[in-house]
Structures are given as structure tokens and as C-alpha cells.
Amino acid sequence: MKESEEINKPESQHFIEQAIEKDLAEGRNGGRIHTRFPPEPNGYLHIGHAKAICLDFGMAEKYGGKCNLRFDDTNPTKEDVEYVDSIKEDIQWLGFTWEEREFYASDYFGKLWEFAVSLIKRGLAYVDDQSAEAISGQKGTTTQPGTESPYRSRSIEENLDLFYRMNEGEFEEGSRVLRARIDMASPNMHMRDPIIYRILNTPHHRTGTKWKVYPMYDFAHGQSDYFEGITHSLCTLEFEVHRPLYDWFIDQLKTDDYRPRQIEFNRLNLTYTVMSKRKLLELVKDNVVSGWDDPRMPTLCGLRRRGYTPESIRRFVDLIGYTKVEAINDVSLLEYAIREDLNKRAPRVFGVLNPLKVIITNYPEGETENMEILNNPEDETQGKRLVPFSREIFIEKEDFMENPPHKFFRLAPGQEVRLKGAYIIKCNGVKKSDVGEIEEVHCTMDPATRSGGPDSDRKVKGTLHWVSAAHALDAEVRLYDRLFSDEDPSGHKDVDAREFLNPGSLSVLTGCKVEPSLAGSGPLTRVQFQRIGYFCTDYDSRPGKLVFNRTVGLKDSWAKQNK
RNA sequence: UGACCCAUGGUGUAAUUGGUAACACGUCUGAUUUUGGUUCAGAAGAGUCGGGGUUCGAGCCCCUGUGGGUCAACCA
């Protein structure tokens, strides 16, 4: 039955899978599939990278191939080992492995140098002595062809000599570059004699001061693919115009039938979320956030600390798909993915964000009962826990109203509610302070309504969570409205990320009370506080205090109704 | 006033490659429920950017227009 359904409903493939299967069918590259994930170690990975990671590793997995991890470290001025380590950690956290295939573009500096020399010898590259301004001035515009550099037809010997001397440290940064000799009139700007090597005096995090010249992205990426035997070089849409140049270099390099192929897909955009690495770096450097792993950040480590599971992120990526459309994905889909996952795995516990004391006047003073409660009603294998109950408890302030509107199902004078896992109680009155604030709610309980008791199936309008005042643990809770503010920066061009990370998106609640069963729960323990939402214990806890980050809220139709 | 890419419910994707628009999220009902959660049942919502053409038949092919994106870093 199930099988026939699967047969009738074939998995639809995205265009990249189709392209790969076509290549496979045509026997290209000997039927090999080999991809790579090529981050530049200049920042932390964010959820946008997760989309690329899932594709690169996913395609290799699906088609019995391999996926390399390759750090695209051709610009020492921006890169650092700190980032290398975090990137590796995040990929593994997502559940992928590159096995022993950890590579660096800088591994190929020697080969790249030789290839450049070979291009010079073939008259396909030359040293240009002009300034950056002069070169860009000659580039022409998108509608007008460029003009040729006066150095374009230097002799091979002179080019060779100059290129060697560039790498000896004889010339200043910016004084000379090596350019590919292609076509200054090409309608594609990238083909107008692109710069392929520049002089940089910053020491490289891996090769130190060995090199004085460094290859540009276009002169490193495709060749690195070629050196590694990559068959499918998957990248984002903005590299589409680079493809002719990618192919041009491969043409000059290849010696047999093997050739890597670049395929572009749409990058991940999320509503209300700033995704630019440069802007995220600003937030970190200016201490607007506590670090790359601040739970408000869309970085993988930020999401992790916020309580997102790797499964939920992979599921989300799966849901949004791969196309060539510049899409903006709604965060609600991400939130759905984490809710779906946590709903299955997170144990339910009681917690009270804004405590309101309830005194059960007919409950004996000093007595304590341990209520046995299912950790997850949908999954009995998660067991039960004992929650202490006593005369004085806390409930959520929001769960009591002195003058309730119509259809308010919770506690109010004269109204009955069930305390989940315990008794049905009825409110008889309140005690107010001099200024009229409600300090205590006075209730009576019905012993026969204890969970499992004779009258336990009596229907009441609402069920509240609660925490015994004497047993409750202090906690600090951080609520995040969204990753960023209500205004949607994803549609804006050059936004200042700070403007969108408004302080209102984070509120820190102290004086919160949680169930004693939470004592000693380690960092990144994910729980669902009944009626409040899904939370994650933070490793940033201070001694003696439990700190929770809200992962995502519950769907709350009552709140929605009353907006 | 160029090259390349893109256009399907509010959002993201599908459509056996030319056979009469499907799925998920979101939204809205209703039922169950010791979480106003979950689960379950159901509904509304696009006729596929416009205009031509080919065809018995077009979301898929062709032409043309419109709209959007990318490209003129010694960044990746």
C-alpha cells in the first residue's frame, strides 16, 4: 500500500539533480560525482550556507559520490584560522563529513603559479603596470567595450621576468598585476582581461610570507575544482556571469576528457533576517551582539545556541528547494521546521515567566505531594517525572484575569481550571496591595479531581501549568521576537544591520520560576514549557541560575484572537 | 540603453518534459485533547506577468513586450 503510493508519487527532482542525472546518463567524467563546499574562512557560517552545504554534501551522498571541504583562502587580508575551526564545527554539527578531504585553495598556490607561468608563455597573460584606477578606467562599461592596456603586448620574456619579480617582493602592493589576455571588447565584463594575480604583503594564515602574489577568486576556484577532480561545482546565482571565465581557464588547463562544470542555484533569503556576512561581522565587532553565537544571530552557532536542531535546519532547507528564482523565504517556514522537530523530541515541563502566587486555602500547610506527569504525552517512551505540589504555587500572570473577557478559558474569580497533572481549583478571591495590584489569588481545590482520581475527568475550560512556590527554581529567560526586528531588511539594499536588530527583539526576564526537574539539565537541553513555547537551556548560565533561550513560540490562537 | 539569468495562490516549490494547475507553510472552520499546544477532518485562495503565434491541445515550444536580478573590487 505504502509502496504503491510512493510509486504513484515520484519524488520530483530539482534542476540540479536533473542535470547530474543527465551527466550520469551520458557517462560524463566516467560516471563520477564529486562536489565541494568552498567557504572563505572570513566569518562564521550562517543558515544561508546551510543551504549550500546540504546541496554539496547531499548530492554527493545521493549519487554515491564524494564532497570535499575546501577553504577558499586566497585573500589573506580577510581570513583567519578562527573561522576555519568554526566552519568545520558547524558542518559537522549539521551532520555532514568530508572524511579526510580537507583542502585549501592555498594548497594549490604552487600549481596555480605554474599555470600562470604557462599562460604567460602561451601569450595568454601579461603583467600590467597601471594603477587600479587606470585599469578600471579602461575596462569600459557594460554597454561600451574596453580599451587595451598599453602593456598588453609586452614580450613573453619581460612578462615572465616581471611576474617572478612581483613574487620576490620587489614591487609595492598595487603597483603591478597579472592579467589574462582574453578580450577587452567582450560583452561579459569578466572576460575583459581579468586580473588573476595581485601583490599582497599580508602574511597568509597558512603559507605565511612564502608568497607575495595571490591568485584572485576566478583564477583559483575553477582550477582548484580541476585539481581535486570535482565534477559539479555548485554555487550561487551571482556567479553565473563568471561561468564563461571559469570555462575559459578550464579550457587552458585540461589535458583529457575530464572537466568540472559550474551550476548555479538561488541563495537563501529569509524575511526579517540580515544575512550578509559583512554586516554580521559589524554587529560582532561593534559589540551589538555578544558574539557570532549570540542567539539572535542567523549564524549556525547562533541558531544552535537558540535551540535549533540540525535536523530542523536540514528539514527547512529541504522544504524550500533549489531553483534559479531569487526567492525570499518566510521565517514561518523555519519556525515550522523547528516546531515540528521539537514537538517530537522535547519533553514538556512547567515554567512560569511572570509568576503570580496562588494559595490553595484548603490544602494543608506544609504538605507536599509528588505528581507523576508524562514527559511527552505523544511519546510515552520519554517516561514520567515527579513534580512537587504544595499549598502555594505560581501560575503565569497572563493566566489570571480579574475581569475576564468572553471566551477567556483560564482562571478568574468564580471560575474553575485544572492544574495540569494535579487538581481542579476554583478561584474565590484575590488579595491586593495598597496600590491595587493583585498579590495573591486565593483558590480551593477539589481532592477528588486529582489526576487519575474519581472526578478527574470532569470537564473544565482551561488547563494551567504551575510551579510549587517552595520548590521552584529561579531562572532567567530570554525571549526573542524574531531574529531581527519587525521591519524587513531582506528587501532593502544597503541596510545597517544595527537598525534592524532593535533592542525590542530581545527581552530578558528575571524572577522566572521553573520546575525542579530542570535542575542540572545541561546546556542545550531542549524543553517545551507548557503553553509558553519551546526553549533551550543556555550554556551561558551563571552559577545557581538556569538560563533559557526561547527557540520558538507556540502557536497561540488566543493571543492571535486578541491582537 | 549591452550580455547573461529569472517570472506559477500571501510565501516557497511541483506539474509524468505538450494532455487541462499539485504539495508544504501561512490563513480560516470544525472535532478530539488534563497545554487555546499536538493530532485529525475540512475550506478559502492562482488559471501560470501582458500580447501574439505553432498545435486538436501550451504553465511548458516560438516571437514580442513588461517587470525583477546579476555583472564595470587588485573581495569571494
- Per-residue pLDDT, averaged over A511-522, amounts to 94
Considering the entire predicted model, what is its pTM?
Answer: 0.94
Q: Quick check: is A6 catalytic? A: no
Q: Supply the pLDDT for residue A58.
A: 98
The answer for A365, left when phi > 0, alpha when psi is -120 to 50, beta otherwise, is beta
A377 touches strand B (CB under 7 A): yes
- Contact (CB, 8 A) for A169 and A134: no
Q: Pick the catalytic residue: A277, A345, A482, A498? A: A277
Residue count of chain A, please give it. 563
Q: Which nucleotides of B are covered by protein (CB under 7 A)?
A: 1-8, 10-15, 17, 24-28, 34-39, 68-76
- Per-residue pLDDT, averaged over A278-287, amounts to 90
Chain A residues 334-363 with Cβ under 7 Å of strand B are 335-336, 339-340, 343, 348
Mean pLDDT of chain A: 93
Residue A397 banded pLDDT, cuts 50, 70, 90: very high
Backbone φ and ψ for A23, nearest 5 degrees, come out as: -60, -40
Q: Quick check: is A26 catalytic? A: no
- pLDDT tens-digit readout, A465-504: 999 999 999 999 999 876 554 455 555 445 566 666 655 6
Name A419's bridge partners. A464
A49 touches strand B (CB under 7 A): no
Neighbours of A455 (CB within 10 A): 12
Chain A residues 261-300 with Cβ under 7 Å of strand B are 266
Q: Quick check: is A277 catalytic? A: yes
Quote helix, strand, coil % in chain A, to nearest 5. Answer: 35, 25, 40
- Per-residue pLDDT, averaged over A185-202, amounts to 97
pLDDT score of A217 more than 90:
yes
Q: Supply the pLDDT for residue A489.
A: 54
- Distance, CA of A331 to C1' of B30, in Å: 28
Secondary structure letter of residue A152 according to DSSP: T
A137 touches strand B (CB under 7 A): no
- Per-residue pLDDT, averaged over A12-17, amounts to 94
A241 touches strand B (CB under 7 A): yes
Q: Do strands A232-236 and A261-265 pair parallel, antiparallel, or not at all (unpaired)?
A: parallel
Q: Supply the pLDDT for residue A200.
A: 98
- Per-residue pLDDT, averaged over A379-385, amounts to 94
List CB contacts of A517: < 8 A, sequence separation 6 or more. A349, A385, A386, A387
Q: Supply the pLDDT for residue A325.
A: 96
Q: Supply the pLDDT for residue A543.
A: 76
